[in-house]
């Protein structure tokens, strides 16, 4: 079994210690940076909401982002994901009104 390394990640100014494979560290850190940037975007766009709402919205957006391989979306996946993202955005907008 491959050894895991402990790293600290930060989500919305909270630190979490996780263990990952060494070769995953760069991707995990990049992903967490993107999630935190999205949280900041939602804070700006929807001022006055609870921090947990911003975190949930950011993670939903990230989780539903098209899966890519070499910068190209898998064949047939993009229309499906675009429809689902539009639906999620509508639900979020309705919830935040």
Percent of the chain that is helix, strand, coil (3-state, to 5):
60, 20, 25
pTM score > 0.85 for this model? no
pLDDT tier at 28, thresholds 50, 70, 90: confident
Question: 74 pLDDT exceeds 50?
Answer: no
Q: What is the mean pLDDT of residues 58-87?
A: 63
Q: How far apart are CA 97 and CA 36, in angstroms?
A: 23
Where do the domains of the chain lie?
A: 5-96
DSSP 5-44: EEEEEEETTEEEEEEE-GGGHHHHHHHHHHHHHHHHHHHH
């Amino acid at each position: 079994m491959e050894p895991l390394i402990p790293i600290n990640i930060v989500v919305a100014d909270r630190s979490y210690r996780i263990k990952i494979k060494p070769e995953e560290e760069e991707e995990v850190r990049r992903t967490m940076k993107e999630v935190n940037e999205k949280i900041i975007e939602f804070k700006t766009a929807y001022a006055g909401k609870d921090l947990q709402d911003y975190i949930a919205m950011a993670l939903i957006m990230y989780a539903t982002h098209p899966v890519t391989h070499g910068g190209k979306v898998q064949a047939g996946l993009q229309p499906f994901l675009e429809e689902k993202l539009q639906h999620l955005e509508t639900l979020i907008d309705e919830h935040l009104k």
